[in-house]
Amino acid sequence: MHFLLETLWVLARSLFYCLESLVRFIIPVRRKSVSGELVLLTGAGSGIGRLMALEFSRLGARLVLWDINEEGNNETARMVRDMHGARAYAYTCDCSDREEVYRVASQVKREVGDVTILVNNAGIVTGKKFMDSPDALIEKTLEVNSLAHFWMYKAFLPAMIAANHGHLVSIASSAGLIGVNGLADYCASKFAAIGFAESMALELLASGCDGVKTTIVCPFFINTGMFEGANTKWPRLMPILDPEYACRKIVDAVQKEQVYLYMPRSIYIAIAMKNFLPTKMGVLLGEYLGAFNFMAKFKGNGKKSD
Ligand SMILES: NC(=O)c1ccc[n+]([C@@H]2O[C@H](COP(=O)([O-])OP(=O)(O)OC[C@H]3O[C@@H](n4cnc5c(N)ncnc54)[C@H](O)[C@@H]3O)[C@@H](O)[C@H]2O)c1
Ligand SMILES: *[C@@H]1O[C@H](CO)[C@@H](O)[C@H](O)[C@H]1NC(C)=O
């Protein structure tokens, strides 16, 4: 196309998208129904995985629950059935093990059907200074928090593409947007998860597969026990999130087909500032917000994936 014409066309569309997002900011977006969808959650045996299972089933979805912790996973399935009378199928799977992912995935396809909403939620944290972190735990963190997402997409995305229908949800972290003292391996794994989900969303769009949506979730600390002992300096500015609240926001973002969800809202400001302020000022603000001591009293939940 002619340079001038194409530039004008892009400007006009840009203006339209700005207006559209302004309107959507004022008038709430219509939520899509998840009733009848088949939702697979990894890490469904506790924390926000369990809460998302309850929320999705309340909204009429069928559930496939994966966790390495069979007991917790069974308990989630029981809660889903008891509270909402919904169908829930629990599978024990270590999603850091590629062969196991492929094996359990084909079992799910055979026994339940094609997954239409995939939530990569399972995650672990070492919580030590990098030099004190055992190599095996560093590797495991990358395997669970990022590599597992590759194998889950390989297993479940083809059916979504074929139907041009589905939703990929990545439970990453604000630690995947900004480095944190004391969380080097975890941050690396979450940066990877975000880079992967974002790239795949573009790959889908470029191939014309516009029916498969992506939502990338970046929360600050959530009070689930995973980050027990981690602390925030100014809870009003950077509150530790309530698990029920976080879970409601995530499911809501899926229903609104929102691509990025950062929680709390101050994370949007922190990220914008990181990208345009002088570096020293960024560090100063980080100190002011207590970022250097987030992990000082970390205890964790004692659960380690093995
Ligand atoms: N809690 C927070 O402060 C926080 C903040 C930001 C992001 N997140 C992310 O949210 C997600 C859920 O965390 P949570 O707070 O509910 O923690 P959680 O520890 O309660 O839940 C994690 C679940 O993943 C399961 N799991 C661990 N390794 C696994 C493996 N190899 N295969 C299958 N399942 C495995 C665990 O058994 C557990 O049930 C994680 O990805 C975490 O990184 C948590
Ligand atoms: C979980 O549930 C399955 C199927 O009902 C059962 O076979 C298994 O023994 C249960 N495991 C635990 C640890 O409760």
Ligand 1 nearest atom to the CA of residue 122, by list position: 24
Query: Is residue 133 situated within a structural domain?
Result: yes
pLDDT computed for residue 216 by the predictor: 98
> Is-contact 248 55, C-beta < 8 A?
yes
- Asked whether the predicted pLDDT for residue 83 surpasses 80, the reply is yes
191 within domain boundaries:
yes
Would the CB of 70 count as within 6 Å of ligand 2?
yes
* 299, part of any domain: no
Is 157 inside a domain boundary?
A: yes
Asked if residue 275 has pLDDT above 70, the reply is yes
Q: Kindly tell me if the per-residue pLDDT of 252 is higher than 90.
A: yes
How many structural domains is the chain composed of? 1
Q: Which atom of ligand 2 is nearest to the CA of 73?
A: 1
113 part of a folded domain: yes
- Per-residue 3-state assignment (H helix, E strand, C coil) for the chain: CCHHHHHHHHHHHHHHHHHHHHHHHHCCCCCCCCCCCEEEEECCCCHHHHHHHHHHHHCCCEEEEEECCHHHHHHHHHHHHHHHCCCEEEEECCCCCHHHHHHHHHHHHHHCCCCCEEEECCCCCCCCCHHHCCHHHHHHHHHHHHHHHHHHHHHHHHHHHHHCCEEEEEECCHHHCCCCCCCHHHHHHHHHHHHHHHHHHHHHHHCCCCCEEEEEEEECCECCCCCCCCCCCCCCCCCCECHHHHHHHHHHHHHCCCCEEEECCHHHHHHHHHHHCCHHHHHHHHHHCCHHHCCCCCCCCCCCCC
Give the pLDDT confidence score for residue 305 in this predicted structure. 43
Is 2 part of any domain? no
Residue 27 falls inside a structural domain: no
In angstroms, what is the span from residue 122 Cα to ligand 1's centroid? 4
- pLDDT at 304 (0 to 100): 45
Please work out whether the CB of residue 74 comes within 6 Å of at least one atom of ligand 2. yes
| pTM for the predicted model, two decimal places | 0.96
User: How far, in Å, from the CA of 22 to the mean position of ligand 2?
Assistant: 50
Residue 137 belongs to domain spanning: 36-293
Q: Catalytic residue numbers?
A: 186
C-alpha 172 – ligand 1 centre gap (Å): 10
Read off the CATH number of the domain in which 228 is found. 3.40.50.720
Q: Pick the atom of ligand 2 nearest to 74's CA.
A: 1
pLDDT tens per residue, range 86-143: 789 999 999 999 999 999 999 999 999 999 999 999 999 999 999 999 999 999 999 9
Ligand nearest to the CA of 142: 1
Average pLDDT, the chain: 95
Confirm whether 3 is domain-assigned: no
Using pLDDT thresholds of 50, 70 and 90, give the confidence band for residue 303.
low
For residue 131, the model assigns a pLDDT of 97
Asked if the model's pLDDT at residue 306 lies above 70, the reply is no
